[in-house]
Amino acid sequence: MGKLTPELERERVRILKASEDYGLDCFDTIFELINYDQINQIAAYGGFPVRYPHWKFGMEYDHLSKSYEYGLSKIYEMVINNDPCYAYLMEGNMMMDQKLVMAHVYGHCDFFKNNIWFSKTNRKMMDQMANHAVRIRRYIDRYGYDPVENFIDVCMSLENLIDRYSPYVETSIVEKKEDKSPGNPLGLLKVDKGYMREYINPPDFVKAQKDKMMEKLSQKQRFPSSPERDIMKFLIQHAPLEDWQQDVMSIIRDEAYYYAPQGMTKTMNEGWASYWHSTIMTQKILNDSEIIDFADHHAGVMAMAPGGYNPYKVGIELMRDIEDRWNRGRFGREWEQCDDVRERKNWDQKLNRGREKIFEVRRVHNDVTFLDEFLNEDFCVRNKMFVYKFDKKQNRFVIDTRDFKAIKAKLLFMMTNFGQPIIRIEDANFENRGELLLSHMHEGIDMQPDFMTETMKNIFKVWQRPVNLVTAMEGEGHFYRFDGNEFIQKKLEAAPKAESSDGSRK
């Protein structure tokens, strides 16, 4: 790894200065100049120079280096959310590309530092990842390569079973205080004079309190007390694991949480960085001879394939749209209610609040809220967006509709939970036999059956008791059970809901 060349360093200082002038606020950013093989290696390691040994990184590396060597793809830019930020430039790229990448990187850095969804991430992840690697290597030395690798495989199979929003929720440990003296389990009001009893605590109230208590008691028997989405955490805490297994699993979970915000803000983050590289480059940095190459490469990044969703493109267009709307005052009630086409077309209140607005947007939104709030019909039409689906008859993907509502619904669905099914633990003592009951919050799309069964087997390996799952397949509720030897599949009468499990709990 090398320091920047004096020429690059000069440009870096210029670009940093320009980005600061625009109001970007970054962590210190350290650029390293590395060759293609090193960049492939680091990219395979998810952006870090050191990770624990696992074949999955080898696979990534194999794919990246093959596709680089055959000229199919090339990594231009990589940046790590860390304080200081680390970013990598590839040796031998043309000067214009290096400048573009640096400008893009400063966009990301600003986003990492200021977006609320990144606020809970570990800013010393560089060190943390290295520590993880050391810990896992130590377990390998002690317990052998195969057992540790096999267990990592199991953990990776479960790594999407986390609750991406949990870091932002304050969990209140303090319960509401009630009068719970031993002689008064029902929490009745205090009665000084016997004849007043029926008035102060009327029978209806006593009965209601009794019911409440019974319900609470039954709730307490439930374990977990409310459905748990952070399945990894639950297993770490409650599954019969060895110490080292617990540690390995918490390492994988840690890393999954570290990467989660990047998944939650992909569109915004790339849109923001692209907005800034294009702004900084075209307004401050490019010289005349570079403009054509810049346009070419910028267009390459923004290109959209018909069947593909390009977060760079959608992100930058939305950012520009927001800036434009707030510059011209195209928001708020008056704008929404205006039906006059001509008036709408010429609407300009000269507010010039666009910049300010996008800085605010980059601070508080994630992809779901971003698209929900700012994706509008004009935008979809202008950008020729559509929903596609798989047509069984033609055996190919076809355009389904260009209806705005459908597009928005589909996009939001794709973004929610990172486009993955939501699975919860309903009961860890199912049928009072210590079995695990999972439920899939079915939202119209079935899970892939073979992967589902394999994942259940992996959960069994951790929980070491039978694993049950309620989901839907082809419109019908299904109940699956894996007891360590065989799979049982049953059709359910009613469509699966979270409550359906209560029927079997008595």
Partner 1 sequence: MSIREDQSRFKDIVKGKVKENFRRFVSHGEMIGKRENEFVKIPLPQIDIPNFRYGPKQQGGVGQGQGEAGQEAGEPGDGKGKAGESPGEHILEVELSLEELADLLGEQLELPKILPKGAKNINSEKTKFNGLAPVGPEGLRNFKQSYKKALKRYITTGTYDPAEPVIIPIRPDFRYKSFKKVVQPQTRAVVIYMMDVSGSMGDEQKEIVRLESFWINTWLKRHYKGLETRFIIHDAAAKEVDEDTFFRTSESGGTLISSAYKLAQQMIEADYPPNDWNIYPFHFSDGDNWSGEDTRLCVKLLKEFFLPQVNVFSYGQVESKYGSGQFLKDLQKEFPGDDRLTLSQVESKDKILDSIKDFLGKGK
Measure the CA–CA gap between 10 and 2, rounded to whole angstroms: 16
Q: In what order do the strands lie in the sheet with 29-34?
A: 29-34, 85-90, 78-80
CB nearer to partner 1: give 138 or 363: 138
CB nearer to partner 1: give 22 or 309: 309
CB nearer to partner 1: give 15 or 469: 469
In the complex, least distance from residue 157 CB atom to partner 1, rounded to whole angstroms: 5
Measure the CA–CA gap between 391 and 387, rounded to whole angstroms: 13
In the complex, least distance from residue 325 CB atom to partner 1, rounded to whole angstroms: 20
In the complex, least distance from residue 445 CB atom to partner 1, rounded to whole angstroms: 5
Angle at the Cα of 62 from the Cα atoms of 61 and 66, rounded to 5 degrees? 115
CB nearer to partner 1: give 265 or 327: 265
Measure the CA–CA gap between 253 and 438, rounded to whole angstroms: 19
In the complex, least distance from residue 452 CB atom to partner 1, rounded to whole angstroms: 6
CB nearer to partner 1: give 124 or 137: 137
- Tell me whether strands 85-90 and 29-34 are parallel, antiparallel or unpaired: parallel
CB nearer to partner 1: give 116 or 414: 414
- The letter for the amino acid at 453 is T
- The encoded tokens of residue 369 equal 């809220």
CB nearer to partner 1: give 266 or 365: 266
- The encoded tokens of residue 293 equal 């190459």
In the complex, least distance from residue 417 CB atom to partner 1, rounded to whole angstroms: 11
Measure the CA–CA gap between 109 and 86, rounded to whole angstroms: 9
88-118: burial string, b at 16+ Cβ within 10 Å, e else: bbbeebeebbbbbbbbbbbbbbbbbbbbebb
For every residue of 70-119, DSSP letters joined together read: TTS-----EEE-SSSEEEEEETT--HHHHHHHHHHHHHHHHHHHH-GGGT
Determine contact, residues 18/280, Cβ cutoff 8 Å: yes
In the complex, least distance from residue 422 CB atom to partner 1, rounded to whole angstroms: 9
In the complex, least distance from residue 142 CB atom to partner 1, rounded to whole angstroms: 18
